[in-house]
Chain A
């Protein structure tokens, strides 16, 4: 397989593997745990390395996952002690663990080829050079196998625990009352996040892990209300960000991980403004429409109030309306046009309005509502 195809395949697998647990991180409002875990796993890797003295040993993954879970345990212990809030607990725990790791690396840097740069920034372009060979047969990049395994693990865990995850995410109290153990579920889920972060940061660096875990699910949440759709959409968005980021970086010859992270952000910003229901623009349009609708109702009530009174001639003049209801001429025109279109009023001559039977009925209902 050509190099760039292998990188892309790896990028797709990493993106999908990260987006899956990311959905629940975002929905449970613990997104930043991914940031904490993806940094503090460095300590586990360093400690495990001191134990086995081999950077390719599987014990490193075990150690890293263990520190990931340790991070969660420490954050929760601090939070539960009541001395600091949860956000402060996160901000206290992971820098301390990361500092310890950096200190250990700096002290014993000569012995290991693990520099903080590659941990944070990652270099996915180098991943295909670490091959997995068995009996002299080249089986492809090692990271690809590992991330493939993690992807399968994540998908399987989410499928098997679907009901439990869904319930404990949206109604933790009910989940606990029904006898699902929130603690067991929580820690199993966090273990999953840790394993994913460990596997992925070897390939793409811890920052991109955070981007892939949080941005695509948050984007998907702006686009759908269904959990199944959100999961599918998150994977799709993460994969397209990874691929477009890869090609952007390839063409401009810049950091691949950085470009992928940037693309997840581009996707989020687009959805933030343009999402069909929840986008900022849709919100503005909806508010404008509601304002015109409400003003139309106001107009009908106003006309009904003065129907058959002495000042009817005066009060139904279009130019007087503008004054009386304090509408700008432009706004008044829009309101009247709409009221005419839905058949609440009709024009009498060029400057007066009269209610239709439908308009009269609407105004009566509107007043009693």
Chain B
């Protein structure tokens, strides 16, 4: 089975492109998602991917081009404006972050719909294809798109590596970084921008609704296996990439298996397994530990028993 897939991946040009693209998107979103997860910005992915819609439509309206880089640029701009909006609202009003995110995603998306329907009325509208950003259609990926994802992704990872120490501080102790004289606000903007870029790059593959899962799921799974940020980012990248490639493969197995949802379900399955079975943090290990402790206490070995646990005991 695996052999068949591997050879298909190497020989079938369409599958190769889709598999590569989905894998690259998954790896990039997974790696950057770690930071979103640790900074409790998991839902930013959801909000940004929705907020990207008006940017995509506007980019098309202004340039008349349907080339992926143009649309991605528009999406990134809108997503970025959206995050600035959320930051401003949280800072300058008592509206909490979750409400600000909700307003961002629904209002920007609504505005995007208005623009999209406006576009559909204009006679020159060759807008077919913008829709794929809404629901994702990995099959429409071209080799140029994959090159774009890989290229931009490489730059993003490079930046991440360059500012690794600062990013780590941002996640765990921003105040300390500020005291050390590191411009944490700028680092915050940089990291958020990288995340926005990763999200809009994935829209074409998995779509607006499901992109948030691709950001959060690999990171949440990886978190269960390690306490080291470096390992977590690597692992999340690998898991995200595997989910992407795997989803692309599964969707070729039968008719009517859309790639995006398959990728998300695979990634979710990995999360479930990780939460249950990861060594030390896993729920199953918790149960086993509990059972062992109980057995030890019951068998009367007083080694670790508390004073109050001996019958009639207590000082």
| Interface set of A (CB-CB < 8 Å, partner B) | 26, 29-32, 34-35, 39, 78, 81, 83-85, 87-88, 90-92, 95-96, 98-100, 102-103, 106-109, 116-117, 120-121, 207-208, 210-211, 213-215, 217-218, 221-222, 249, 252-255, 257-262, 264-265, 268, 272, 278, 280, 283
Contact = CB atoms under 8 A, between A and B. Distances in A.
Interface in B249-292: 254, 256-258, 260-262, 264-265, 268, 271, 275, 281, 283
B256 A214 contact: no
A62 to B, nearest CB: 24
A84 B220 contact: yes
Contacts of B99: 26, 29, 31, 214, 217-218
Contacts of B43: 32, 87, 90-91
Given A95-B209, A96-B213, A109-B256, A214 B113 contact: no
Given A106-B258, A262-B114, A278-B93, A96 B264 contact: yes
A106 to B, nearest CB: 5
Interface SS of A by simple majority:
helix
B79 to A, nearest CB: 16
A222 B103 contact: no
A211 B103 contact: yes
Interface string B88-132: 010011111011111101111111111111100100000000000
A261 B89 contact: no
A65 B165 CA distance: 46
A81 B275 CA distance: 9
B283 A116 contact: no
Contacts of B224: 83
20 contacts: A32-B46, A34-B102, A35-B46, A39-B209, A90-B42, A91-B216, A95-B264, A98-B209, A99-B210, A102-B261, A103-B262, A107-B256, A116-B135, A121-B113, A213-B102, A253-B117, A258-B114, A261-B113, A262-B107, A264-B110
A129 B248 CA distance: 40
B94 A211 contact: no
B209 A106 contact: no
Given A92-B216, A215-B107, A261-B110, A207 B117 contact: no
B16 interface: no
Interface size class of B (residues with CB under 8 A): 35 or more
Given A278-B94, A283-B92, A84 B117 contact: no
B30 interface: no
B75 interface: no
A91 to B, nearest CB: 4
A258 B261 contact: no
Contact of B268 (A95, A257, A278): A95
A120 B209 CA distance: 9
A83 B220 CA distance: 8
B71 interface: no
